[in-house]
Structure 1
């Protein structure tokens, strides 16, 4: 997927996202499972690098990977502006050829949900396994089925501000437990005092917790934690975001 103009609007639209909660969650899990204080972290589907930079500021050695050239351009500029030296690579998370092994790998902000097929998810788990050192931890979070079914499908969201507005319509996708997001952005061009319109179509798909668990076990991981909504408790029927913490078993 190419995010095109969306890459340059993303941070504005996500300014209230709980990025600090992701960082806190990962740090607590690393302490719990005895990962060293300055791990080498691979931020897969890093987007505009917001979490990459935040982890770097916490002392992590960070590498970022994303499929979108535009997202990576924003990420690189952001890291440099904040004095962080982070290598970013344009790669598909299903194929990390040339990358080293890492202490920690994360796919945050429901980025895994952008994969369209079961095969893509399985290939991604296999790719992560190959590039995680023995004993290393893999984190990811996904939307629950309930979130897609009741939080997104057939819903309309809108924002109306002076410099940027959007209309966001979500409707059921063709595949099971999938949703398509149709977004129209209106961005003020201050040179002309007129608004430019940009349209995007995004796809997300999720699976039952047990299905993710099966694929992880088949890929060779040990499942350490499955929880929800940044809390340590197990997912409930109305949980919105499911978190997985798994380990590549020592051989």
Structure 2
């Protein structure tokens, strides 16, 4: 779910799993397909919104990693996604996901950007915290930078923090049992 560049999908496909790589972004799906390499035959790429999943069949495991639920900024959207996850699972299936907590987003917010090099690419990251709305705005630059100008991509993401007890309650309301936090 929200497969992004497809690294997790590739990892699972390399280990023999049949994978539905789902993302709302056509660009991310193209990157995911390219990342699959020779494992591409084990993946089905689907452009779908996690709130309204319509998979070809029910699955035994659903993974929504990289704090993707935090990108849903309204409680109702998180509720829709959790219900959608539950409906996509076989009986006894499991959903695995991670979220950033308010502490992580608030304490990680720093208007001073930090920068590092990764495989010859410059990565700059800055974030700010909106206390009133419990949201962080993350600004990321990926590309090349040097004396003669810069070229790259700028991404801006907003993430909302949801309290653990609220998420647990909503998981049970969506139909899940045996919730572990």
1:1-251 superposed matches below 5 A: 44-79=1-36, 81-85=37-41, 86-154=43-111, 156-160=113-117, 163-173=120-130, 176-187=133-144, 195-226=150-181
2-structure distance, mates of 1:71, 1:164? 19
Moved over 6 A (4+): none
The CA deviation string for residues 18-75 of structure 1, in whole angstroms up to 9 with x for no partner, is xxxxxxxxxxxxxxxxxxxxxxxxxx00111100010111222111100111111111
Are residues 212 and 153 of structure 1, via their aligned partners in 2, closer, same or farther at CA, if it must alter by over 3 Å? farther
Structure 1 gaps, min length 5: 1-43, 227-251
> C-alpha offsets along residues 131-162 of structure 1, whole Å, 9 cap, x if unaligned?
11111111111112211111235453212568
Unaligned runs of 5+ in 2: none
Displacement of 1:198 in angstroms is 2.9
TM-score by length of 2: 0.88
Q: How many residues in Structure 1 have an aligned counterpart in Structure 2? A: 179
Residue 50 of structure 2 aligns to a residue in which SS?
A: coil
Distance in 1 of aligned mates of 2:64 and 2:111: 27
Task: Give the Cα separation in 1 of the matches to 2:61 and 2:131.
Answer: 34
TM-score, normalisation: structure 1: 0.65
1:223 Cα shift? 3.0
SS for the counterpart of 2:169 is helix
Deviation at 1:167, TM superposition (A): 2.6
